[in-house]
Structure formats: structure tokens, C-alpha cells
Structure 1
């Protein structure tokens, strides 16, 4: 409250171009706009919403009081053609002549707004690829810890989580049981994994449990047995799936007025009849029930879908809410055994396992543990080859001089998929950028292209992966 004057002077530089006018967005213009118009109800200065931030702990009334109580003296506008030294001289003269004013309010202290501990990112799903389940888990956890937003589990609770919506983890070798990398908060053993897999493979509901995923998927309760019987005997259903209608209810267990459905066995039978079917979905939710008990332990695993692509059985699983620290590892091994069961039954190898977590969470009571896990395993991540291809770089010469030639090779066959030519790394970058490379591959390729460009300029030989070490150009 003791500050009653602000003198504006100095060089003004634009934060970004706007309609060709480099002076449109400057810190000086933001100060002018604040003193002219103040802030709006969203705590922003109109026209500068991405550049100016007012801490939420400072009341809007106090911000306005500052605006009307402090006088702006704009020497940059008053002395357009003056030098910086002339403005400094004028500022010193003005300060000596200013009227001394009393504070416009009592001193006040405002607490700092809690800083967001997450890194910024574009929002929405994050896709992580891993070789096996431990490798995928540590990579996923690193992304979730880095980019997860702080959120509450429910209204009326102080239980905080770091959360990413629709975290997607793709596991390329889900049947790999190698536990030499065992980064989990509670290390898993083959015995623990086998016990969980046995439960998810069984339709039985153990005493004292509201449900198991195995029971939901393999003994899905349906309250109207007669309705299903009537449905599957209609002409429409008798002709369904290439005339295979008579077997459409073979995985339904009729018990008086109710029945249960083995959805996994049904998916297997459908894929045996039509291995390219897109209808092999198994659910755990009963909508009528879950609508009434969404806060009373509705299953987190909502659905799975089995599909064949490249003559492999892929499995996609959706969890509505997911404890990524403790629950995810066991869930992943459980899903992997379902995938293996279906693949073996239809005579195909397993492909990728994709787990989508609608709300991927790290509970606040695990924060310190997660930090320690990530610190301990910072160098244990498996190197990730680029499944989209490899790049071969060389310098070629023609009558009009030399060029850098980049060939995109198929990662398995080595077949040339595309070729790019250019004289500079920047020119080639613009041509290759559409490939959306993984970060580590992009960094490598950028480095090699820069070396190739320097070698081309110096008329020196270039050899990929070796010229950087022997180069005298850096």
C-alpha cells in the first residue's frame, strides 16, 4: 500500500507477433491495460489472458484498489523519441517532485497459491508403450507422475490424487513373465501373479466378496432367462452369424427364472466362427444395478474387447477408475492371462494388450513411494526401438552438388518405405516431422542430420553413428 506511483520506461519487446504488429503484446502494454481497465471476473487482463496471471489468493477487490490508488507515469508514451538515458534523467527529476501520499490501505499478507506440481501438457489421453508389464508400468508411472493433475477422488473428501484421464498403456509382450525388473511398490512374485490369474479365470464368487472380475466375466448375471430363450429362437437369431444361430446361447447357464453368461467362452466361440469379428466384448457392469450404486464399489474394470489383427489376438481393456500404483500391475497380469486363454482357444498367438484407464490415479499416500521408485529406476527403462521404422542417412553427390539422403526402412524387412533429400537438417526436418517420432528417436535423428549437414558443408565424408564421435566440427 506504500507504492503510489509506477514509472514506465525502457525498451518494449513483443512476446509474440500479432497481425504483423510486433508491439501488440508487450509487458508495457499489459501494464497500461491494467491501469486503464483493470482485470475481469476471470482474473485476467482483457487481451492478455495467456500472458498475465493474478494469484487466486489475492482478492479481486484488492487488485482493483491497487489499480485506482496507484498512478501510472508512462514516460515511454510521453517521451517517444527520447533515449533511455534521457528517460532515466526525467524519471529521477519526476520522483523528486512527486507528492508524498499516505498508504492507500493497511498492509496485508496473502498466502502463496499452491503451485501445480505437474508439468504442462496438451491434455487428454497419454499413450505409453512398453515391452512387458514391468517395463510398461514404470514408463506409465513416470508419465502419470510428471503430467498428472491434482484432483479429488470424490466430493466431500480430502483424498487427493494425481490423475490423467484415459491413460493408455500398450504392452507389446504381455505374456513375458520376466520379473528381473520388478519395480512395483510391493514386488510381485510368480506365486502372487498365478493366484490373481486363477481368480480372474474362475467364474466362482468366493464367500464374502461382492464380486470378482472372473465372476463378472464368466458368470454374468441376467435376471430374465425366458427373455433370452425367446430371443435366440426367433428366425432373426437363428440366421445370425452365418447361420450359426442354434449355438448362440450355448454359453448361457439357465437356472429357473435367471441365467448367467460366460462371456469369455462366448467371445471364443464367436472368434472361431468369424475371427475378424468386432463384436467380442465382455462387460462387468449391469447398468440398472450400477446406476444405483456408483459410490458403492462398482467394478473398476468395465469392459474388454478381443480382436484379431495381423493374425494375432489383441485385447483392449477399459477401467473406469484405476489405482495405478498397487492395482494396475495385478490387473495387467490378469488381463494378459485372459488374452492368452482366448488366443490359445482360437489357435493364434497373442498380440498387444492395451489397457485404458479412464481415471488413472496415484493416491496421495503413495506420493513419496512413487518418487522413490522413479528415482531408483531412472536408468532401468528398456531401450525402445521405433516400430515405425529406422532411418538411414548418407550423403550423395550429383552434377548439381551434394545432398543428404534419408531412407525410411521397414523395421523388420529393411524395405525402403520413403526417401527424403535435402541440403540442411532443417529442410529434412520439415519433411520427416509428419512421422511423429518418439522423443528419443527424434533427438537421435536431429543430431545425426546436423552432423551430416556440417560434413556436407565441409566436404568431408559422413558415416552414420560414427561421424559424431570423430568429428572436429563441434
Structure 2
């Protein structure tokens, strides 16, 4: 006799990211696309199917949804891919049900329930412990290591008789804080740093300060800048991780991630692609090898290009965020520029940048092995067309800025690629000489009595001058103008 289930899963959080049914089994697919399981099931087989990428961002909302749907009595957690192992979200959720939580502080210093797991995971403290314990006691949990195993377990649960809900729906309202946004340019931003870590802090500060708040289309909001160029000049070969590490990744995660960019991988059901697969075999060509051969044959080539965008992505969905990579050799220096159409700058950009840097070094090393060219590592440049921070990491971003931004800004670097400016006064006028940063060759001369007019003239002629350098010039020119008024000698920087 076929049972007619009378339940329907109601998601309070991220409903558009879930496939809802009318059974009693919740299915978590980790990084495997949820449709890969749904196509093998009837809606009566499951209560809900959803993915889980992050233990620190996803589990809290997942638990809230389960508390609101007490008819869910079974949970199948798919923990099948390298990405699942790397992220640890599925394992952390399993640990919640097996081990529970303890009260402590989250990575942003908030009082939270910390999941008893080797993988950091948090649940809001405003959910009372008795509700969490009741949830853990009322749901039977099983782990699956493959899509086939998960489907079998779900269908076995679907054959069981209906169990009454373990209680009434429990709702715990979430508080939200809208960031204060200062005026600023919407399009076209440039940020530079010596290391990926330093550049990342500057990026988060820029987005949190002037980014526009918009709905994401995925049941939430993000704060966004459009067309953000980040330039990393001096990342060390073995990568810089601050101590203590404030980056959202560590070395073990990075090792796995780099392989996803450098190495090919077979097509797997439920896994969309890896960047390495798109670069190595997706279009029937090994594009990394093509670029190496191109530069060996024509070291000055401006056509060392790799693409990850497939025109079919418009129809299929699930298109890669990383779209285009361009390499260029200038003055025996190899630079890499990557274009990302959509970029989670808080959680994803540091890994993106380190993976791309590893690709840049691989290409440099292969060229050195196979030719007479021993290139220097030039800058890594990323162009993030939608550079955004999701609302569930806004507080993390603010905490990062409070703890790191001032210290990074205090590390002054007086070298400006736009050059140096020597200021003197003579015959009742200010004279400014513009010299190149290296040889000191004179490339411009300015004179006048009005400090503001001179500043504007210099900045118009040298639009690439650093903002702090322009501010310094304005101060020094005003000091020189004051010295002329009171007939005192002027000495720059005194």
C-alpha cells in the first residue's frame, strides 16, 4: 500500500536554494549538485534536498530550518567528493549530530554554540540548548559516500511508516545589521598589496566601506563593487600565511585547492567541473600546455590566453566564476591576469589568488625548464567583475578590518611608480621638479605661487600618482607657499 505523506518542508532560510518534497528525510549533498540526487527520487521520498558548502556559514541556517520542520525524522548526509573533504561542512554536520555543541566564542568573537568537531562550525547562541538536544535525539542520521549509496538510503527510509513530528515548529528570529555605506565610485577600483593576505584586507575594507548593498538572487544580500582590480606584487614562493592566521584558508586546504586548478579530472556525476578540467581537457586542448609553448616560441606574445567560459554555459547554468586568464612577459617578468565574473571576496578570493599564483609559477618553471628564458615572477592581477561579500560574512569582514586594517596601513611604502617630486622656492615662486623613480631623470617641471593650482596641475599631468603621495604634495606645496608669504626659507620634509 502506497503511503500518502501529508508533510511539506517549509524553509525559512534560503528557500530558493532547496528542492522541497513531502517525505520525512532531509538530504544534504555537500558540494555535489542537488539535482544529481533529485533525478533519482520521487518528491514523496524526501522532505528537502540541499547543498552545504561551508561549516561556518551554512550549518547555522540548516539547523534553523530543521527546527522549523519537526516532521523531518531522517537525515542523509552525502560526504563524497574531494571538495567535501576540503571544506569539511558535511563532516562538521555529522559531528553536530554525533557530538553536540559547547558554548564558546566564534571566530568573530561572538558568543555561540561551537560544534564539537575538528572543523570549526557555529550555531547562534539564541537557539536554546534544549531545542538543539531535542533535534539531535529526534533525527536518525546516516552518512553516504556516493550518490548511489545516498539514493538507496533515502529510498529505504521512504518505505518506512510515517512517524509523527517530534514537536511543534520552532522559530528563532535572526537579527540583521545593515552596514553603513560611504559614498564612492561604483565602477573601476584598483587595490595593490605586496602579499595576498595584505591585499585581501584592503579589498574587504574597500567593499565594506563603499560597496553597494544588493539582493543576490539566492535568498540573501551582498555588498558589491563592480570591476575591482587587485594587484599582488611580491607573494613569496611558498605563500605567506600570517601568524596567527586570519585568512579563511590554511595550507592543507590550499594544497587540495591548487590541484583543482593545475590538474585535470574526470567527469563525475554531480560535480560540475574543476578549473583544472576546464583548462586541461574541456575544449579538447590542454590550454596550460598551449600557453607554455606559445611563450617559448614567442616570448613577447600578447596572445597567451586561456578561457574557461563555454558558450553552452548560458544554457546549462553552473558557469565557472573564473573565465579568462592572460599571461604576458615584459622586461623578463611573467605576469598573470585573471578575470572572474563573480567573486566572493571574503571566502573565496584568497584561495583563488593563491591557486592562480601557483599556476603562474608552474608556467614560469616549465618555460625555464624547456628554454633559455629564466623569467622573474611578475605581479598577479585579478579583475573581479562582481566583487562582493555575502551578508552572512559581513560581521566577519568588520572584525577583520578592526583587527588588521590599521596595522597594514601603518606599513608605509614611500616608493611611488609615478616618480618623485622635488620642491624648492626661488624668486618668490615655488618650483617643482618631477623625476623618474629609478634613475632620477627629469620628466616634468612646474612653477607658480598658488599651492592648490600647482597640486591640481601636477595631478592632472600625472594621474597615476598615489593618493597619499598627492596629499603629501599638497601639504608640502602649501608649506612652501606659506614660507614665501612670511619670507622664510623652505626645506622639503622639514
Q: TM-score, normalised by structure 1?
A: 0.60
* Partner SS state of residue 161, structure 1: strand
Contact 1:175–1:337, Cα closer than 8 Å, also in 2:
no
2:424 to 394, 401, 415: 394
SS state at 1:314 partner: strand
Is residue 2:407 matched to residue 1:383? no
Task: Sort the Cα spacing of 1:209 and 1:175 in 2 relative to 1 into closer, same or farther, 3 A.
Answer: farther
Equivalent residues in 2 for 1:301-450, closer than 5 Å: 301-346=322-367, 347=373, 348-381=375-408, 382-384=411-413, 385-395=415-425, 397=426, 401-434=427-460, 435-436=462-463, 437-450=465-478
Q: Return closer, same or farther for 1:131/1:189 CA change in 2, 3 Å cut-off.
A: same
- Greater C-alpha Rg: 1
Alpha-carbon distance change, 293 to 175 in structure 1, aligned in 2, over 3 angstroms: farther
Output the CA distance in 2 between the equivalents of 1:378 and 1:183: 14
Aligned to 1:454: 482
Please list, as runs of the form range in 1=range in 2, the aligned pairs for 1:72-471 lying within 5 A after superposition: 117-154=180-217, 157-175=218-236, 177-180=239-242, 184-186=246-248, 188-205=249-266, 209-221=271-283, 260-288=284-312, 290-294=313-317, 297-346=318-367, 347=373, 348-381=375-408, 382-384=411-413, 385-395=415-425, 397=426, 401-434=427-460, 435-436=462-463, 437-466=465-494
Alignment of 1:24-43 (within 5 A): none
* 1:316-374 CA-partner distances (Å, limit 9, x unpaired): 10111111001000000011111112223333112121101111110000011111111
RMSD: 2.2
For residues 382-440 of structure 1, give each alpha carbon's deviation from its aligned partner in whole angstroms, at most 9, with x where no partner exists. Answer: 43432111222122x3xxx2322212221222222212112231231132021233221
TM-score if structure 2 supplies the norm length? Answer: 0.58
Q: Is the 8 A contact 1:271 1:277 kept in 2?
A: yes
Q: Would the alpha carbon gap of residues 115 and 285 (structure 1) be closer, same or farther in structure 2, given more than 3 Å must change?
A: closer
Tell me: CA distance 1:324–1:285, structure 2 relative to 1, closer, same or farther (3 Å).
Answer: same
C-alpha deviation, 1:139, in angstroms: 1.0
Stretches of structure 2 lacking an aligned partner (at least 5 in a row): 1-176, 368-372
- Summarize deviations over 1:297-331 as a string: whole Å, max 9, x none: 32111110111223311111011111100100000
Contact 2:196 2:240 in 1 (8 A): no
**Aligned partners of 2:265 and 2:352: how far apart in 1?**
18
Distance 1:447 1:205 in 2: 61
Aligned residue number for residue 252 of structure 1: none
SS at match of 2:241: coil
* C-alpha displacement of 1:175: 4.0
Unaligned stretches of 5+ residues in structure 1: 1-113, 222-259, 467-474
- 1:312/1:349 contact within 8 Å kept: yes
Secondary structure (helix, strand or coil) at the match of 2:428 reads strand
5 Å-filtered alignment, 1:52-67, equals: none
